[in-house]
Amino acid sequence: MKKVKIRPIEANIPTASMADIAFLLIIFFMVTTVFTVDRTNVNLPLSVKREEVPKGAAVVTVTIDQMMKFSGGREESFVVSSAEDLISLAAAEVAKNSLHPFVIKADGEVPFRAVDEVMDRLKQAQVRVLILLTNQKTVES
């Protein structure tokens, strides 16, 4: 009787589709990642009704020490040194799109005159759509 040699089967992991899977995971996480343009923590004032913020809106932040930050809606926010700089930045955004929405994100402890000054500067820059960001107050019935 003839002896048959049995060769052991080598373990093999197919790696041809690993690159495709990695690429799909990268695309998935890039698409689902939330991008925020302003990470400044402020305690927002309370209101009964809350406006929805349109995606890509320009954000003007006023912190508790009345420092102003600006973001056009596509980039990270940066500190604005003067009111004239705010006017020129807002005017540049309005020149691109006359109905570009602007959001004022002000701390609840900031005096209203500081928020009013920002609103006046945005009005000078011909801003037409202006939203004041607030937290929604629960109404007990």
Domains of the chain, with CATH numbers?
46-136 (3.30.420.270)
Pairwise CA distance, residues 64 & 28, whole Å? 38
pLDDT in tens, 75-120: 888 888 888 888 888 899 889 888 889 988 888 888 888 888 989 9
Give 130's strand partners.
102
pTM: 0.64
DSSP code per residue over 40-79: ----PPEESS-PPPPTT-EEEEE-TT--EEEE-SSS--EE
